[in-house]
Chain A
Amino acid sequence: MNVAPTMKAAPRFAASLAATVLGLGIAASPALAAPSGPPIRIGSTLSLTGPLSGTAIIHRIAGEIYVEQLNKKDGLLGRPVEWIVKDDQSKPDLTRTLYEQLITVDKVDLVIGPYATPNIVSAMGVAQRYNKMLVHHTMGIPSLAKYEMQFPAWSVGANPETTVPNTVLDALATLPRPPKTIAIVTSKFPSVYLMSKGAQEVAKKRGLAEVLFLEWEFGNRDYGPIANRVKDAKPEFVWVGAIGLEGNQLLDAMKKIDYLPPLHFYMYPAPGPLAKLPEASNALAASIFEQHPPFTNNPVAAEFVRLYNDRAAKAGLADNSVETQAAASYSTWQVLEAAITATKSLDDKAMSDWLKKNQVDTIQGRLRFDRTNNYGDDLMRVKQVQKGQWVTVWPKEWAAPGAKILGQ
């Protein structure tokens, strides 16, 4: 399915609603037979235990919802779908072993990616060895994705270290007083560090004066001195290359010295905990999806949000909203389904060839895989904590109704 590239994103998104609604109507038809025959077995690992398990469970829930939805309709190719998930314990070496096992011992029909960059890189090597297509959802360093049959469902584009900072600074440029100075403080976690170094370059090119650049090792315990140095530097904008709760810890340290940054951005925060922090008011972050219009104008997205909210709450997750992680995961399955349906096969090569030439409508937007390392457009948007909730504020066509970026 090819689409004219001149169509703007939001109208194109709305245009896909008609096809989606039609599809839902067909799917709801009682005339549709339940899937039958031997199941199509799709294998993957997830970090069900270990330090990454807090986020991996999001992908587990999203995947389970998608497989259930498939099996309630006619499955894939008329056959039921079975998802085999093994626990990689957040370890890339174990991920490699388990993907070998999935392919050679369990003999799954297809594989799908695990969570997080290091594990995806491991899985990719195995997929390449066995010529298996690999659609994945959380690869943070596109330059490492060199395998020709891998496809990213997280639409960061081939050079997110340049495009994302530009998007953020574009948003800030709309403020009455855009920032002129920037402090960049960052974890050395690889995917985060890549973005922070990119932000450093972009800021320089756009004429912002860098008043501070600091790095800390992932797993750092003490954010006091870092908070002190940011306060001392008096930046107008702070780019925080934080992952997980690092942003919360830094803000907590800043609160202890009575400091709040005038404008602040967090790269990959734990979104629920950050939004709940009073000090995080007006904090910015990047996202491909938030559970408000216009994203939820898509009935498929709206249904997924409903199911996910319910399942995540039952699973005891601290934050049960759909955002980047869950949306990227759901999109991964959408890409896989599109490739299988279009080629009417489970042939990895045929599906890969199809994906390279076509685009897939997902809940985050239309994905394409025809640029460097099979990446397409950067669909990252900017969101902001307003009144304790994340709302998309940029680009304008994706902003929540009535929302605009707020400065201090």
Chain B
Amino acid sequence: MTLPSATLLAQAVLSGVFIGALYGLLGLGLSLSWGMLRQINLAHFALAFLGAYLTHHLTSVAHWDPLATLLLIVPGFFAFGALLHWVFARFAITPFNSLLVTFGLTVIIESAIQWIWTADPRMLDSAYGHVKFKLGALYVPLPELLTLAFATTLSTATWAALRFTDLGRAMRAAAEDAPTAAAFGVDERRLSLLLSGVSAAFAGVAGLCLALSFTLAPSQVYAWIGVVFAAVMIGGLGNPLGPLVAGIVIGVSESLTMAITAPAWAPLVSFSLLIAVLLARAEKI
């Protein structure tokens, strides 16, 4: 076996960091809703792809700048996320049932995407896709750098908000013990709507990043579920930084596997890590 060059290994690490950041960004909203709202929202992935398709459409057809599409997507998805949680609360949907309901919602959203945009795969051709920077011998494409920036900023900002602000403390208190928090004046219902809206908005941002770097096809909704779930569970439910760190660990491991051995082994990496973590700290998940 020929040893890969240092440049190849370094580029693989960088590539892993970028894709890991996307895992983390996709996992951020999922981790918050699962860990703090006790809702396993499978529709999060469908929402991300809906965001990706909206980005693609607004950029390709209406000639918007891709980043400008967030002005529409973020508030729209926030409203949708809040509405979704209102429905869950109204009908007292349990965590297990939330998995079933959101699975159904995923199928509906995927079908709607296919109905509107057909099943033809699409790749966004934007100005961002033609820009790359050089770091010595390494290449840093702009779309991937944007993904890393969004993932880092949103994860850190969410962590800081939950840790250092009154709002964040209230959310954590409500998540841990809603009745007791209510006794201290915490409006758990409003905070839950806010958190659900924010999680859905994060899915929209992840959709922008998907559109900038990846091929879009309705069936691809399901391709990300496994690895992002692994990142969320390894990172710890409700921990905003967890999916990012775990995502990067998984991404780098996958990339190095692909650089050194057979790319076909890469999917083993994320699930092997998940199994190892589950065995080591099952009680903490």
Q: Say whether A and B bind each other.
A: yes
1/0 per residue, CB under 8 A from A, across B182-221: the answer is 0000000000000000000000000000000011010100
B285 to chain A, nearest CB (A): 25
Collect the chain A residues with CB atoms within 8 Å of residue B121's CB: 54, 244-245, 270, 273
Query: A232 with B215: in contact, given A53-B119, A188-B264, A224-B255 (CB under 8 Å)?
Result: no
| Contact yes or no, A225 B139, CB < 8 A | no
A216 to B215, CA, bound (A): 17
A256 to B212, CA, bound (A): 13
Task: Determine which of A50, A57, A225, A244 lies in contact with B258 in the assembled complex, contact meaning CB atoms within 8 Å.
Answer: A225
A229 to B111, CA, bound (A): 37
A257 to B141, CA, bound (A): 8
| Contact yes or no, B262 A214, CB < 8 A | yes
Q: B169 an interface residue at 8 Å Cβ cutoff?
A: no
Collect the chain B residues with CB atoms within 8 Å of residue A256's CB: 132, 139, 141
Most buried by A among B111, B259, B264: B264
Query: A224 with B12: in contact, given A188-B264, A229-B259, A256-B141 (CB under 8 Å)?
Result: yes
Partner-contacting stretch, out of B3-11, B153-161, B230-238: B3-11
Q: A215 an interface residue at 8 Å Cβ cutoff?
A: yes
Residue of A whose beta carbon sits closest to that of B251: A222
Task: Determine which of B114, B123, B251 lies in contact with A53 in the assembled complex, contact meaning CB atoms within 8 Å.
Answer: B114
Q: B266 an interface residue at 8 Å Cβ cutoff?
A: yes
B68 to chain A, nearest CB (A): 23
Q: B15 an interface residue at 8 Å Cβ cutoff?
A: yes
| Contact yes or no, A49 B258, CB < 8 A | no
Residue of B whose beta carbon sits closest to that of A53: B119
A135 to B9, CA, bound (A): 49
Task: Determine which of B5, B18, B120, B123 lies in contact with A317 in the assembled complex, contact meaning CB atoms within 8 Å.
Answer: B120
A79 to chain B, nearest CB (A): 34
Q: B19 an interface residue at 8 Å Cβ cutoff?
A: yes
| Contact yes or no, A225 B15, CB < 8 A | yes
A233 to chain B, nearest CB (A): 9
Most buried by A among B15, B19, B129, B263: B263
A340 to chain B, nearest CB (A): 32
Q: A177 an interface residue at 8 Å Cβ cutoff?
A: no
Q: For this complex, into which size category does the number of interface residues on chain B fall? A: 35 or more
1/0 per residue, CB under 8 A from A, across B98-113: the answer is 0000000000000100
Query: A232 with B8: in contact, given A188-B264, A221-B19 (CB under 8 Å)?
Result: yes
Q: A219 an interface residue at 8 Å Cβ cutoff?
A: yes
Collect the chain B residues with CB atoms within 8 Å of residue A222's CB: 15, 19, 251, 254-255, 258, 266
A228 to B255, CA, bound (A): 11
Q: B179 an interface residue at 8 Å Cβ cutoff?
A: no
Query: A258 with B139: in contact, given A215-B263, A216-B264 (CB under 8 Å)?
Result: yes
| Contact yes or no, A54 B214, CB < 8 A | no
B95 to chain A, nearest CB (A): 28
| Contact yes or no, B114 A49, CB < 8 A | yes
Residue of A whose beta carbon sits closest to that of B123: A248
Q: A11 an interface residue at 8 Å Cβ cutoff?
A: no
B49 to chain A, nearest CB (A): 13
Q: A51 an interface residue at 8 Å Cβ cutoff?
A: yes
A382 to B8, CA, bound (A): 33
Residue of B whose beta carbon sits closest to that of A253: B15
Query: A226 with B264: in contact, given A51-B219, A53-B119, A257-B139 (CB under 8 Å)?
Result: no
Collect the chain A residues with CB atoms within 8 Å of residue B255's CB: 222, 224-225
A306 to chain B, nearest CB (A): 22
